[in-house]
Structure 1
Amino acid sequence: MTDVSNPRVVPRNIARSWLAGALTAIVAMGIPVATPHVASAQTRPPLGAAEEFAVLAATTVTNTPLGATVVVGDLGVVSGTPPTNFPPGTVVGDTHPPGTGAAAAQASLLTAYNFAAAQGPATIVGTELGGTVLPPGVYASDAGDFQITGNLRLDAQGDPNAVFIFQMASTLVTAVGSTVTLENGAQACNVFWRVGSSATLGVGSRFAGNILAQTSIGANTGAIVDGRLLALDGAVTLDANLVRRADCAGVPPSPTASSIASSIASATPPGSRGKASMKQKKRGRQQGRSTSDVDVAVKTEAPRCRRRHHCG
């Protein structure tokens, strides 16, 4: 630090005293001071066979009789009773009744649950997460449970692979109308809530992330989930919810000849012919790339006019 009136280096202890005094004055004036969270490094828990599931329960999945629930992804029950009230609930994926393959997913869930519990050391934060902004990291509650009232913002800081892990010894409860917002590249597929007992999502709340619960999960009326509801030992209860399995966005593979041909065949109307633009192919050769590495432009030709005088 430099003294403006007499350019010289101010001793470090004086600089620290000055900064401490300034911060004390700011706090005294009631100006909020942002305290950065220093989170530990983390690795995404492997979901394995549970990756394809949006909803997985040990005993049963129950939808309310009139609940227009939509589950995008697989739904499964390991043992106990089959899913109830589907319909009116809808599953956009495969449904696995007891004894039809969900056991492998439950084994993978247990692995992911223990993996998430072992991540750390965790940054200890307050029970209430609403109204906070958190960077990637591993977090645990000082009281053993988490609540969300209002909006929780998860900031990936420009890293789409950033992982957030929340560890709870007991419960997770979100309030009516609460939200979890993903910012700066954060993806719901990389957010994990390891719940020691049960999770409850409030009416009309919007939640992001994968809930790995030891016992049960309940989503109240109208709650929307971008992620997964996975219960190790208990049931999952739904009520007019939308549960969308969160898949991580990746770089699409380069198109192959067969995939291009399939796209052309499906996109070309009957009676017309689709062909790749010769200019686009030539440009690909000039740039030293094959046409499979270039976005192939498909244009549709109208049927040729047979009588010249009637051609437009």
Structure 2
Amino acid sequence: MFFRKLKLISSLAIASTLAIMTSGCAEDDAEEIVGICPIVVSTIPIDSAVNVTLDQVISATFNEELDPETINTDTFMVNGESALIGGIDYADKTAFFTPESNLLPFTVYTGTLTTEIKDPFGNALQEDFVWSFTTIPEVSLSVSPDASGTVTGAGLFNNESFVTVEAVANAGFEFLNWTIDGTEVSTNETYEFEVNGNMALVANFEVMSLNTFTLTVNAVNGDVDVNPNQTSYNDGTSVILSATPDNGYEFSSWSDDASGNNNPLTVTMDADKAITANFTQYNTGQICANPAVDLGLAGDYAILAKSGISTTGNTSITDDLGISPNSSTSITGFGLSLHSSGTYSTSSLVTGRVYASDYAVPTPANLTTAVSNMETAFTTANGLAPDQTELLAGNINGQTLASGVYKWSTGLLVTNSITLDGGGVDCAEFVFQIAGDLTIANNTEIILINGAKADNIYWVVAGAGAVLGTDVNFSGNILSQTLISVDTRSSVVGRLLAQSAVTLDGNAIVKPSN
């Protein structure tokens, strides 16, 4: 009796358990073997989630394994502003919905799992499972009018977070304000605000009131063509000045609010400007029969040096360039191309020819003679009897000097433009004997008047070297016992004859005519 009682109790327990397991499962056509119903235990994103990323894969995890055939686009759906298109996958109790494209920002999406989802035994989800979530908002930026400025700070941001955007005006425009749907929200270029859903900000700019400037052009012994020729110019306008000399004169330089000897000259109007074109009287066909300093073959070169010639920047050399006894490898920055004859090289920076000691004859023989003539010319010029000594203690700033021989036992510093007056005499010559260094300060000009010519001016430098600063407009032949250095944008009408090296930086060197 005891054994039967235990068996009865066991049977009742089993029956009771089966009743619990089958209770609550819907009837369907399948023969139920186990009565456990599919239940959704978790979702990604969770119900009511916010700030969901736009590349989110949507999933639901169940309490048991399912029949994969029942997980499809008819039983697992996601809707936003419209039904999403995506792929369905199932693995390890989890159904996945992968959208075909990114979700829309700050949009409520609803996921639905229907009662057609079943487990392998035919037990179905008892009722549709529905949940929703909201994606992350987007801050978008634009400018008005087009191309009036630039903006930074757009992107995806959590709702109720704080964001900073910035607007920068393009040239010719100035910032006006930020607007949303036409309503002004800030007048500051840098604007901080709290994100409240999708926000489309417009940075508004307006055209600046343009400044206008006047240009005054002066010329004596010549004319200047102004293009465009207007009474006033908008800020940033480019104006081209072309100088034309009268008969018996040649253009030498620009002065006042311009410098150098580029002709034509391009001027950018960013202020009121007055510019003077300078012209010098040239020697009408006369060649000086007995020059104070005979350059010999050295006079054939715009630049002649013994140890090195180098350049950086946009340099232009008018006439020949030579080096000896060092070879062509000591000429740097010119992009030399050896001519097929092997006697000289060419360069896009040199209008003449480039000669060096390692090139084929006969040029090197002439080059050796030219270097010897350069050394002799230095000795001759430095040994001439002076007309004046120690003029203004080594500083001749702002002076007008007549032709003659000037001597300094120290260096010579020129910090303000000087004028050399030829006195209307053909072949008026100027010789400056400098025992120390020659230093020409930035923005200094050597002005020639009344027939003074660069060809008849000799700067004889016996010190450590001759140094021309930036934006210098220089005239004359430099005979240096050592170095000649010309800084950025300076121009020279004359010759650079150095017994060591010549260094350039974006300069125009023009050998004068006789």
Q: Same fold (TM over 0.5)?
A: yes
Q: How far is the alpha carbon of 1:153 from its aligned partner?
A: 0.3
C-alpha RMSD of matched pairs (Å): 1.5
Please point out which of 103, 106, 121 is paired with 2:371. 106
Partner of residue 3, structure 1? none
When the two structures are aligned, how many residues end up with a matched partner? Answer: 203
Partner of residue 228, structure 1? 495
Please point out which of 90, 108, 119 is paired with 2:384. 119
Structure 2: segments with no counterpart, 5+ residues: 1-289, 336-346
Q: Distance in 1 between matches of 2:350 and 2:314?
A: 11
Q: Distance in 2 between matches of 1:164 and 1:122?
A: 11
Mapped contact 1:205–1:222 kept (Cα < 8 A): yes
| TM-score between the two structures when normalised by the length of structure 2 | 0.38
Partner of residue 153, structure 1? 419
Give per-residue Cα distances to partners, 1:214-264, cap 9 Å, x unaligned: 0110000011000000101x110010000000122xxxxxxxxxxxxxxxx
Partner of residue 179, structure 1? 445
Q: Distance in 1 between matches of 2:356 and 2:397?
A: 37
Give per-residue Cα distances to partners, 1:14-65, cap 9 Å, x unaligned: xxxxxxxxxxxxxxxxxxxxxxxxxxxx95200111111001111110011x
Alignment pair present for 1:95 and 2:354: yes
Partner of residue 137, structure 1? 404
Mapped contact 2:305–2:322 kept (Cα < 8 A): yes
- Structure showing greater radius of gyration is 2
Q: Distance in 2 between matches of 1:189 and 1:129?
A: 21
Mapped contact 2:400–2:421 kept (Cα < 8 A): yes
Letter in 1 for 2:427: N
Q: Distance in 1 between matches of 2:429 and 2:306?
A: 26
Alignment pair present for 1:59 and 2:311: no
Mapped contact 1:155–1:186 kept (Cα < 8 A): yes
Q: Distance in 2 between matches of 1:219 and 1:89?
A: 19
Q: How far is the alpha carbon of 1:140 from its aligned partner?
A: 1.1
Alignment pair present for 1:70 and 2:337: no
The aligned runs of 1:26-41 (5 Å cut-off) are none
Alignment pair present for 1:195 and 2:443: no
Q: How far is the alpha carbon of 1:129 from its aligned partner?
A: 1.8
Q: Describe the SS at the equivalent of 1:161.
A: coil
Q: Distance in 1 between matches of 2:303 and 2:487?
A: 15
Q: Distance in 2 between matches of 1:89 and 1:220?
A: 20
Partner of residue 293, structure 2? 45
Q: Describe the SS at the equivalent of 1:186.
A: coil
Q: Describe the SS at the equivalent of 2:293.
A: coil
Q: Describe the SS at the equivalent of 2:317.
A: strand
Mapped contact 1:178–1:205 kept (Cα < 8 A): yes
Q: Distance in 2 between matches of 1:121 and 1:70?
A: 35
Q: Describe the SS at the equivalent of 1:68.
A: coil
The 1:229–1:89 alpha-carbon spacing in structure 2 relative to 1, beyond 3 Å, is farther
Which stretches of structure 1, 4 residues or longer, exceed 3 Å deviation after superposition? Answer: none
Partner of residue 486, structure 2? 219
How many percent of aligned residue pairs carry the same amino acid? 34
Q: Describe the SS at the equivalent of 1:108.
A: helix
Q: Describe the SS at the equivalent of 2:397.
A: coil
Mapped contact 1:50–1:105 kept (Cα < 8 A): yes
Q: How far is the alpha carbon of 1:89 from its aligned partner?
A: 5.9
Q: Describe the SS at the equivalent of 2:424.
A: coil
| TM-score between the two structures when normalised by the length of structure 1 | 0.63
Alignment pair present for 1:206 and 2:473: yes
Please point out which of 332, 349, 354 is paired with 1:84. 332
Q: Distance in 1 between matches of 2:437 and 2:457?
A: 17
The aligned runs of 1:16-27 (5 Å cut-off) are none
Partner of residue 55, structure 2? none
Letter in 1 for 2:297: A
Q: How far is the alpha carbon of 1:111 from its aligned partner?
A: 1.2
Mapped contact 1:63–1:89 kept (Cα < 8 A): no
Please point out which of 145, 168, 171 is paired with 2:434. 168
Q: How far is the alpha carbon of 1:176 from its aligned partner?
A: 0.4
Give per-residue Cα distances to partners, 1:162-199, cap 9 Å, x unaligned: 00000011110000000000000000000000100200
Mapped contact 2:386–2:407 kept (Cα < 8 A): no
Mapped contact 1:179–1:206 kept (Cα < 8 A): yes
Letter in 2 for 1:158: G
Q: Distance in 1 between matches of 2:434 and 2:324?
A: 24
